[in-house]
Amino acid sequence: MAKWIRNEYSKKLSYENLYKAHFKARKGKSYREEIIKFNLKQEEYIKYLYEQLKNKTYKHGGYTVFYIKEPKIRKIERSRYIDRIVHTFYVENFLKPHFMTQFINTSYACIENRGMHKCCLDLQQRMKHCKIIWGEYYILKMDIAKFFQNIDKDILLKILLRKIKDEDLIWLTKEIIYSNQEKKNLPIGNYTSQIFANIYLNEVDQYIKHTLHCKYYFRYMDDSVILLKSKQEAKDILEKIKKFLKEKLELELNKKTQIFKNKQGVNFCGYKINEYRIKIRDKGKKKLKNKIKKLKHEVKIGKITSKEAHKCLAGHIGYIKIANVENLTNKLFYK
């Protein structure tokens, strides 16, 4: 892979690549009204978008703002569907091929063939290994305060421009990054934001792995864990990371950041993990119980079928898949 991105924009910009981006962006969402309307004249819309991107007359539209309550209240900014096609085109043709290859192998969020489950299983294996070689060891658990809201767009752009040397691509990069007017805050609803966030935190990943030489470091988006031999080493590492985050990325760790002994296990990615068990946290367990109770009632009164109830539980079943929950599943599920 080339060190810099040069003369790629004109090569990658084509009707075919924009159609592929449209096909990927609509996947699983084809029932939505805006996508149904787009599909009716998709050839015309994609040709129009191609001309806009080619002539650099494309302007990112505004956002529809809404809030979600689970697992906590979050502000979601959803862009127009035509903008989401541009995001997908940008990520698939430029960010993934040129930036994701630089990520460390213990960064897991939004990366194909990794994900939350692999992160938890890999961490548990390393915990077993540390138990064997050190006996007692310490866990440094870090969480970044209001991560997406505090990403500095100017710093992000500087990171991207270290690699992007294509003027046309620089124009599109700026159009996407500064699509809302705030100096900080990446819209959580954008496909680009997930990858931008990983690129941003790859700076601290590289620092922890290659400057601080922390061998057992794991990150899933803004949550991270380091396994260390002593409490003093963990304290020293934590202070250096705090300084790096503040000076280089304008970020801070929140109050959930702490150091504790391995025998306590660690809350990570929605699980309670120790060397021998992966358990669902009480909050996740309560949510699952309430969901099953509600679905059982809806099946009983004939509102939905058992098959439909099973589909509604797909996400929860995926969540408990790697956990040691035999007693819980025996209690909650039935044929």
Residue-wise pLDDT for 243-283, tens only, equals: 999 999 999 999 999 999 999 999 998 889 999 998 876 66
For residues 331 and 185, the model is more confident at 185
What are residue 123's DSSP bridge partners? none
Residue-wise pLDDT for 10-25, tens only, equals: 999 999 999 999 999 9
Q: Which of 258, 189, 263 has its CA nearest to residue 224?
A: 258
In the three-class reduction of DSSP (H, G, I as helix; E, B as strand; rest coil), residue 138 is classed as: strand
Do 247 and 239 meet the contact criterion of CB atoms below 8 Å apart? no
What are residue 273's DSSP bridge partners? 266, 278
Neighbours of 304 (CB within 10 A): 15
Residue-wise pLDDT for 36-72, tens only, equals: 999 999 999 999 999 999 999 999 988 888 887 766 7
Residue 335 pLDDT: 43
Residue 330 has pLDDT above 60, yes or no: no
For residues 3 and 316, the model is more confident at 3
Residue 76 pLDDT: 80
CA atoms of 53 and 208, how far apart (whole Å): 39
Do 36 and 5 meet the contact criterion of CB atoms below 8 Å apart? no
Amino acid at position 99, single letter: F
- For 210, left (φ over 0), alpha (ψ -120 to 50), or beta? alpha
Strands (E) across the chain are located at: 63-68, 74-79, 138-143, 217-220, 223-228, 258-261, 266-268, 271-273, 278-280
Mean pLDDT of 22-32: 89
Q: Which of 120, 118, 131, 105 has its CA nearest to residue 267?
A: 120
Residues 6+ apart with CB under 8 A from 204: 241, 244, 245, 248, 249
CA atoms of 112 and 227, how far apart (whole Å): 25
Residue 315 pLDDT: 59
